[in-house]
A and B are shown apart, each in its own frame.
Chain A
């Protein structure tokens, strides 16, 4: 089934809060109400025609108007996939300190979601309600804030460990030392790499060897005579 057929089946399943299919992007997605993400993923997993049994990605995106949680599910049996999204609209003046959106956890449906949801909690501050163990997974336990939020202010130190760059460089270049080799400077507009000429356009020397640059290509009869002698 393609995404449209999967979406039609999901919309007819009786699970409420299923939005329309957005086909404007490469991976078409369905926006689902936060309350219906767990029944929707459960139904898609258990339906014998869908069998979207594998959650291979769970991530979150911060936008100016909302935070989206994105679920990529696929079926190894039927070889099809679907993207679901949950939108949490940003309240007026919501920052990373005052606004931590709540989304129901799908760790009970797909166990793979357990660590993915911990990562989104750690870095973007999405609270997954009903998660069995919602702790930080990458940053230290005592870290404050969620660093991938746009309004996050970077810390200067953490627990006595400085996280700032040195104010003065550790070493100064000795002015008496020779300058570092600069190499050839690429001109503006010049491609980064010069692709080699394709083999078919290079003339052949005798014996079928391609001619190296600077070597004169062999004449037609010379190549024929060489081949005849062998």
Chain B
């Protein structure tokens, strides 16, 4: 389809636009105001002045899932809470990211054997991008998780993927 082929832009400039969008996204990852257990105390310390998550643009906790890009799950997720976590995640708009903070959320932690009520890892309920182990993790560990997430966000393709897909479809139809 020659007409279609000519209308498609070059991939190079599209990638440049994507990297600009990625830079904007990674510099304003707004987390959700959300905490479950003791890891939330450590998370609050990361928001506060000493560690200052706002340096990475992630220090604006949003009061509603509809405005937030990131859900940090800090604390033991039990069967009663898992339903709420899933509902909060479903309310978030794409693109959305999940950080599992703490040993309990990464795989059960101390409740792995005798926790009759504990979900052994929040990845069983929602898809997780970054796992931050620790009981609780040091603030530096959570900041490292945020930095890893920034890398992941900045590498994402927005328009380049569409262009590539269109090109593939184009090639197949020829």
A residues with a Cβ closer than 8 A to B are: 139-140, 143, 147, 152, 154-155, 158-159, 161-166, 170
Q: When the two chains form their complex, are residues A139 and B80 in contact, meaning their CB atoms are under 8 A apart?
A: yes
B residues with a Cβ closer than 8 A to A are: 79-80, 82-83, 107-108, 112, 115-121, 123-125
Bound-state Cα–Cα, A164 to B138, Å: 27
Q: When the two chains form their complex, are residues A155 and B116 in contact, meaning their CB atoms are under 8 A apart?
A: yes
B124 to A, closest residue via Cβ: A162
A139 to chain B: which residues have CB within 8 Å? 79-80, 117
Q: When the two chains form their complex, are residues A162 and B119 in contact, meaning their CB atoms are under 8 A apart?
A: yes
B80 to A, closest residue via Cβ: A140
Main secondary structure of the interface of A (DSSP, over half): loop
Q: When the two chains form their complex, are residues A170 and B119 in contact, meaning their CB atoms are under 8 A apart?
A: no
B112 to chain A: which residues have CB within 8 Å? 165
Q: Could you jot down 17 A-B contacts, CB within 8 Å?
A: A139-B79, A139-B117, A140-B80, A147-B116, A154-B116, A161-B79, A161-B82, A161-B119, A161-B124, A161-B125, A162-B124, A163-B79, A163-B118, A163-B120, A170-B107, A170-B121, A170-B123
B125 to chain A: which residues have CB within 8 Å? 161
In the complex, which of the residues B82, B117, B123, B125 has the most CB atoms of chain A within 10 Å of its own CB atom? B117
Bound-state Cα–Cα, A143 to B82, Å: 14
CB distance from B22 to the nearest CB of A (A): 25
B108 to chain A: which residues have CB within 8 Å? 165
Q: When the two chains form their complex, are residues A166 and B79 in contact, meaning their CB atoms are under 8 A apart?
A: no
B120 to chain A: which residues have CB within 8 Å? 162-166
